[in-house]
């Protein structure tokens, strides 16, 4: 996993003060990282449009333009002039090397956005919105310098953003690049070193980015074992029992030794699952909420939950005040989507917000919830789920839009529940369940609109 930062100003300052690397050297390395990507993607002589802003992000773009001169057709557009000291210096160097500016946007093989970078803190002016819209309409391979212009520190467009195929982010990964609302703008993300290695440049952060290599499926190593060694998950079924059945099947495919669907109703379930009207005596974890509806009276539901077993909660329980008592328990995992999380925030008297407001401020609301409920582990679902617990935060960027399908969340609950049942600590169960869910979605050999929960469960069994 990799560190994530709200901004890297402090890290840059360490380079100036500790490593004796002035701003000029860092900028030259930043520019060269973009230059290298262009050289990698395009033959000499290709046209490159660079749109540079007035600050240091623009300085990076202008330095890149100078580095490409005489080998590429460089089209440098500086619509707002040069205002920062380094931007002015880079423009002087560009002129000294024989470069000339263009006075309007032109078509090109590559388009480099070096307008505003990560310093944006207020909505774009109308002329900037118009400029970015024009850039988005131009054909060509699009590269963002540091962060697509228009994206703020919370990862939301203000109100539009450059649509990059590739973002070359400077020094370290910014958290904003991996927020849900930024996912359609950033493209592939690569990190440019600025003259020192990543290990020298970075400090530890409480926000992390998960990677494929972090997945550790629950492979069995003990030969002399039986089903009892791998836990017994009880899945509470409600009005829509199909949701519980999908979660139960996912749990069985991800290592749980036994899985019981618990309901008072006589329902048809797959032969490999067990059925019970009460918690089996050797239950090691419980999954509840998906498809629950109003199936149970309070006493019945309390009968299932009045214990100290590890618990994963989803769906309908996020609309019930009953969850307030459960949040004080040890070993509890919550898996809401944004609408459910908005309801949970209201029940907890943290905030009264819409799902849209949740999406615009995902990090802020997750951090506040974790401050209020340090025992709970949270998986806030979305395009890039956030997994959080007591001051530690993780973003999983590995999922795909194929998961935007009914039943996908039930599968996630089952995966997490399976790991809880096998004795994983809640945070590790949440991390590994989320990773398995995301990576499995990439392994289904179907069009991205065609994924079914059954496909996802089968893919999980082949991780």
Q: Give me 116's structure tokens.
A: 């505003």
pLDDT of residue 118: 79
pLDDT by residue (tens digit) across 357-389? 999 999 999 999 999 999 999 999 999 999 999
Q: How far apart are CA 438 and CA 396, in angstroms?
A: 8
Q: What is the dihedral of CA 321, 322, 323, 326, to 10 degrees?
A: 140
Pairing status of strand 311-313 against strand 141-145: unpaired
pLDDT by residue (tens digit) across 339-363? 999 999 999 999 999 999 999 999 9
Does the pLDDT value for residue 297 go beyond 70? no
- The DSSP code for 125 is P
Residues 29/193, Cβ–Cβ less than 8 Å: yes
Where residue 306 falls among pLDDT bands split at 50, 70, 90?
confident
Q: What is the dihedral of CA 91, 93, 97, 98, to 10 degrees?
A: 30
Does the pLDDT value for residue 326 go beyond 70? yes
In a 3-state reduction of DSSP, which class is residue 166?
Answer: strand
Q: Structural domains in the chain?
A: 2-205 (3.40.50.10260), 213-460 (3.40.1190.20)
Residues 151/157, Cβ–Cβ less than 8 Å: yes
| Predicted structure pTM score | 0.93
Residues 12/86, Cβ–Cβ less than 8 Å: no
pLDDT by residue (tens digit) across 194-212? 999 999 999 999 999 999 9
- Taking all residues of the chain, what is their mean pLDDT, rounded to a whole number? 94
pLDDT of residue 441: 94
pLDDT by residue (tens digit) across 176-189? 999 999 999 999 99
Phi, psi of 94 (to 5 degrees): -60, -45
Phi, psi of 207 (to 5 degrees): -110, 130
pLDDT by residue (tens digit) across 82-123? 999 999 999 999 999 999 999 999 999 999 999 998 767 789
Q: How far apart are CA 238 and CA 290, in angstroms?
A: 8
Q: Give me 273's structure tokens.
A: 């699952």
Q: How far apart are CA 76 and CA 171, in angstroms?
A: 24
Residues 110/49, Cβ–Cβ less than 8 Å: yes
The residue to which tokens 């806030």 are assigned: 380
Residues listed for the chain: 463
Sequential DSSP letters for 258-292 = EEEEE-SS-----TTSEEESS--TT--EEEE-TT-
Phi, psi of 431 (to 5 degrees): -60, -50
Does the pLDDT value for residue 4 go beyond 90? yes
Q: Give me 38's structure tokens.
A: 């262009």
Q: How far apart are CA 233 and CA 417, in angstroms?
A: 7
Is the bond leading into 2 cis (omega within 30 degrees of zero)? no
In a 3-state reduction of DSSP, which class is residue 206?
Answer: coil
pLDDT by residue (tens digit) across 129-169? 999 999 999 999 999 999 999 999 999 999 999 999 999 99
Question: What is the b/e burial string over 320-349, where b = at least 16 CB atoms within 10 angstroms of the residue's CB?
Answer: beebeebbeeebbbbbbbbebbbbbbebee
Phi, psi of 305 (to 5 degrees): -105, -10
| Percent residues over pLDDT 70 in the chain | 99
* Dihedral sign from CA coordinates of 334, 394, 175, 209: negative
The residue to which tokens 């993607």 are assigned: 41
Collect all residues with Cβ–Cβ distance below 8 Å to 246 and sequence separation of at least 6.
Answer: 290, 407, 410, 411, 414, 453, 457
Q: Give me 293's structure tokens.
A: 């509806």
The residue to which tokens 């050289």 are assigned: 39
Q: How far apart are CA 65 and CA 110, in angstroms?
A: 12
Q: CB-side exposure of 417: number of CA atoms within 13 Å?
A: 39
In order of 183, 295, 308, the CA distances from 150 in angstroms are: 13, 47, 48
pLDDT by residue (tens digit) across 45-67? 999 999 999 999 999 999 999 99
* Dihedral sign from CA coordinates of 89, 39, 11, 153: positive
| Residue 448, number of CB atoms within 10 A of its CB | 14
The neighbouring-strand residues paired with 377 are: 333
pLDDT of residue 117: 81
From the list 189, 145, 242, the residue with the least C-alpha distance to 397 is 189
Q: How far apart are CA 64 and CA 189, in angstroms?
A: 18
């Amino acid at each position: 996993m990799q560190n994530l930062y709200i901004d890297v100003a402090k890290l840059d300052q360490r380079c100036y003060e500790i490593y004796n690397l002035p701003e000029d050297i860092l900028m030259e390395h930043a520019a060269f990282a973009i230059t290298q990507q262009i050289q990698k993607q395009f033959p000499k002589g290709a046209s490159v449009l660079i749109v540079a802003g007035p600050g240091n992000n623009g300085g990076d773009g202008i330095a890149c333009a100078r580095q490409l001169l005489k080998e590429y057709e460089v089209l440098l557009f500086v619509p707002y002039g040069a205002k920062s000291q380094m931007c002015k210096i880079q423009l002087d160097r560009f002129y000294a090397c024989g470069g000339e500016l263009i006075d309007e946007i032109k078509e090109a093989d590559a388009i480099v956005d070096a307008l505003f970078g990560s310093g944006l803190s207020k909505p774009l002016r109308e002329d900037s919105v118009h400029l970015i819209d024009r850039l988005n309409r131009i054909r060509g391979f699009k590269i963002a310098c540091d962060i697509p212009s228009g994206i703020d520190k919370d990862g939301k467009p203000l109100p539009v953003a450059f649509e990059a195929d590739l973002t070359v982010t400077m020094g370290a990964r910014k958290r904003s690049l991996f927020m849900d609302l930024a996912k359609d703008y950033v493209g592939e993300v690569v990190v440019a070193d600025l003259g020192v290695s990543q290990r020298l440049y970075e400090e530890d952060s409480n926000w992390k980015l998960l990677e494929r290599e972090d997945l550790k499926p629950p492979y069995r190593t003990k030969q002399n074992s039986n089903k009892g060694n791998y836990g017994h998950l009880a899945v509470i079924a409600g009005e829509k029992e199909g949701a519980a059945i999908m979660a139960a099947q996912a749990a069985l495919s991800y290592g749980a030794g036994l899985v019981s669907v618990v309901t008072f109703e006589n329902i048809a379930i797959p032969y490999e699952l067990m059925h019970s009207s009460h918690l089996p005596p050797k239950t090691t974890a419980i999954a509840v909420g998906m498809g629950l509806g109003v199936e149970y009276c309070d006493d019945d539901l309390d009968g299932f939950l009045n214990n100290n077993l590890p618990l994963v909660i989803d769906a309908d329980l996020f609309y019930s005040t009953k969850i307030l008592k459960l949040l004080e328990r040890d070993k509890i995992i919550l898996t809401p989507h944004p609408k459910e999380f908005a309801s949970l925030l209201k029940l907890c008297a943290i905030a009264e917000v819409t799902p849209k407001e949740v999406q615009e401020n995902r990090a802020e609301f997750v951090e506040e919830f974790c401050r209020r409920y340090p025992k709970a582990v949270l998986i806030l679902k979305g395009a890039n789920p956030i997994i959080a617990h007591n001051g530690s935060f993780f973003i999983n960027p590995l999922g795909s839009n194929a998961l935007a399908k009914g039943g996908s969340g039930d599968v996630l609950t089952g995966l997490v529940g399976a790991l809880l049942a096998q004795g994983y600590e809640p945070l590790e169960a949440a991390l590994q369940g989320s990773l398995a869910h995301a990576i499995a979605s990439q392994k289904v050999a179907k069009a991205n609109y065609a994924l079914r929960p059954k496909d996802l469960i089968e893919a999980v069994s082949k991780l």
